Homo-oligomer: A and B are copies of this chain.
Amino acid sequence: MTKKKIGRSAQLRATKFRAKKVGLPPGALIYVGEQKIERPVISFFDYDPGKLEARQDVSLDACLELKSSSTVSWINLDGIHDIALLEKFGQGFELHPLALEDILNTQHRPKLEEFEGYSLIIMKMLEFDEAREEITAEQVSMVLTPHCVLTFQERPGDVFDGLRERLQRSNGRIRQRGTDYLVYGLIDSIVDSYFHVLEKLGDRLALLEERLITEPDQDCQHRIHHFKRELLNLRKLVWPLREVISQLYSGDAQLVEETTAIYLRDLYDHVIQVLDTVELYRDTVSGLLDLYLSSISYRMNEVMQVLTIMASLFIPLTFIAGIYGMNFENMPELKLSWGYPAVWGVMLACVAGMLIYFKRKKWF
């Protein structure tokens, strides 16, 4: 039952935490999520085709130096609950208060927002929690400037390790390109991880379907309900991404070049594929509910038939036996020597008649 509780609160969190903000001026910085790590950690990659510098746990000032260098810098912040630090980030990189507010509001829908000189991209990193069978989301905000990409994550641990490895290799395409290609690489990593989540979800649905066919019980029904909600949630998180990416490659984003746009167009196809699969799963889940309900109906039918056959066979017989169990003094049949076998004969005839009737009705 705890599982249900958690699934529920995940859905309601969005409204819960926004409510904290009521009455504050717009652009006021307040962190609406849970504090997920103890200390925020800044790390960066600074590279051009020739050289690469990667550093962990640096100070903000070290990052600000990268701001105007001609190399490409990827500055990552794990842990966004430290509002003072974030404000310094904002001042250092000249971010609009609304941009910072969006980064802090971890319940935001995915979106692309253009500001003067930079773009803000908000996305969700999804994971499938195998124990609870539910999808957990972490918000990743990216700021794309001409020379820097800033990423803000709620906690350490992400899906960018493959990308980091590729950065290390000097011959990768990513080292030849600018910040727009880096952002593409980040988004691509996130979208690729969605396929992982879908695969695991698909496995669970397949197991559930198998169980439904062999032995439908009430737990199946709760799981159907649970997956239905998870898929609703998943769709809500992925759907706006379509628009975000199409805006990125169609020229709305000021800093994306034509050579990167072709990759984003390809990525768009992947997002569509994710959404297609989510829709397919939703139809599958609703099909599972139909299957469950009709199984229940069918089973009830079977149960009723057994009851009806048993009752219809024996109730008349019991009545006949009851007749000759009466104690009337004047019951001539009781004295007949062939009375008892005759009653047996009548009973067998009854049974045979009922059986023929049920056979015709195809009840067994």
Nearest B residue to A162, CB-CB: B23
A27 within 8 A of B: yes
Q: How far is the CB of A30 from chain B (nearest CB, A)?
A: 12
- Is the Cβ of B192 less than 8 Å from the Cβ of A21? yes
| Residues of A70-107 contacting chain B, CB below 8 A | 96, 98, 101-102, 107
Interface with B: A129-137, A149-157, A246-254, A322-330, which one? Answer: A322-330
- Is the Cβ of B308 less than 8 Å from the Cβ of A206? no
A147 within 8 A of B: no
A57 within 8 A of B: no
Nearest B residue to A308, CB-CB: B307
A53 within 8 A of B: no
| Residues of A116-144 contacting chain B, CB below 8 A | none
- Is the Cβ of B192 less than 8 Å from the Cβ of A22? yes
A353 within 8 A of B: no
Q: How far is the CB of A239 from chain B (nearest CB, A)?
A: 9
Choose among B5, B9, B166, B325 the residue that contacts A325 (Cβ–Cβ < 8 A). Answer: B325
Nearest B residue to A326, CB-CB: B324
| Residues of A1-35 contacting chain B, CB below 8 A | 1, 4-5, 8-9, 11-12, 14-16, 18-19, 21-27
- Is the Cβ of A195 less than 8 Å from the Cβ of B19? yes
Chain B residues lying within 8 Å of A314, measured Cβ to Cβ, are 315-316, 318-319
Q: How far is the CB of A242 from chain B (nearest CB, A)?
A: 14
Chain B residues lying within 8 Å of A324, measured Cβ to Cβ, are 326-328
A65 within 8 A of B: no
Contact string against B for A residues 315-348, beta-carbon threshold 8 Å, 1 for contact and 0 otherwise: 1111101111111111101111111100100000
User: Assuming A174-B25, A327-B324, is B228 touching A12 (CB within 8 A)?
Assistant: no
Complex CA–CA separation, A196 to B165 (angstroms): 45
| Residues of A167-189 contacting chain B, CB below 8 A | 172-174, 184-185, 188-189
- Is the Cβ of B8 less than 8 Å from the Cβ of A209? yes
- Is the Cβ of B321 less than 8 Å from the Cβ of A330? no
- Is the Cβ of A16 less than 8 Å from the Cβ of B280? no
A61 within 8 A of B: no
Chain B residues lying within 8 Å of A196, measured Cβ to Cβ, are 19, 22
A296 within 8 A of B: yes
- Is the Cβ of B27 less than 8 Å from the Cβ of A173? yes
A306 within 8 A of B: yes
| Residues of A232-248 contacting chain B, CB below 8 A | 232-233, 236
User: Assuming A22-B192, A312-B306, is B280 touching A11 (CB within 8 A)?
Assistant: yes
- Is the Cβ of A12 less than 8 Å from the Cβ of B206? yes
- Is the Cβ of A269 less than 8 Å from the Cβ of B108? yes
A222 within 8 A of B: yes
Chain B residues lying within 8 Å of A310, measured Cβ to Cβ, are 308, 311-312, 315-316
| Chain A interface residues (CB < 8 Å from chain B) | 1, 4-5, 8-9, 11-12, 14-16, 18-19, 21-27, 96, 98, 101-102, 107-109, 111, 113, 159, 161-163, 165-166, 172-174, 184-185, 188-189, 192-193, 195-196, 198-199, 202-203, 206, 209-210, 213, 215, 218, 221-222, 225, 228-229, 232-233, 236, 262-263, 265-267, 269-270, 272-273, 276-277, 280, 283-284, 287, 289-308, 310-312, 314-319, 321-331, 333-340, 343, 361-363
5 contacts between A and B (CB under 8 A): A11-B202, A108-B273, A225-B290, A300-B301, A331-B340
The 5 closest A-B pairs by CB, nearest first: A23-B162, A321-B322, A324-B326, A307-B308, A12-B202
